[in-house]
Amino acid sequence: MVREGNAESCFRVRLWCIAVLGLALLSACFIVSCVEKIWGCCPGTWKPFGSSCYFISSEENFWAKSEQNCIGMGAHLVVINTETEQDFIIQQLNKTFSYFLGLSDPQGNGNWQWIDQTPYKENVRFWHQNEPNFSAEECASVVFWDGRGWGWNDVFCDSKRKSICEMKKIYL
């Protein structure tokens, strides 16, 4: 009879151990799934901001070649959606250079469009005063002008400039 009690007691302990272990595994799965949504990473030389990563190119290329280079890294030329994003980006830039954005007017008719098809919003524009000003300049850049600061400028797509690539963060 003592043996039966020990066997039953042992069975209960095992059952509790299995229940606790199962609960621990479920908790771990829940925590990992929550952490995955929070821990976004960027490749080594990229700068994180919000849900995106940014790469400032040190090479000067034409607009189309700049976009190809971004695509080769799993990104695209930068799409600026907010003033805080613009402020973050310009803090990373060198005032002596101009940088291509993912914004163009392919037909030269004032119909500006973002490379990723994000709607071009009139309220999220950072053009320098009196820009864009020439329909043959079908690509946009961000540039620092003395007395005006940072702003967008329409430029020739076949001019060589540095560029800014953007990709979504990689979530672990």
3-state DSSP helix/strand/coil % of the chain, to nearest 5: 35, 25, 40
CATH architecture of 43-171: Roll (3.10)
Domain ranges of the chain: 2-38, 43-171
pLDDT > 70 in the chain, percent: 84
Question: What tens digit of pLDDT does each residue of 109-163 get?
Answer: 999 999 999 988 877 889 999 999 999 999 999 999 999 999 999 999 999 999 9
What tokens does 5 get? 């009690």
Residue count (the chain)? 172
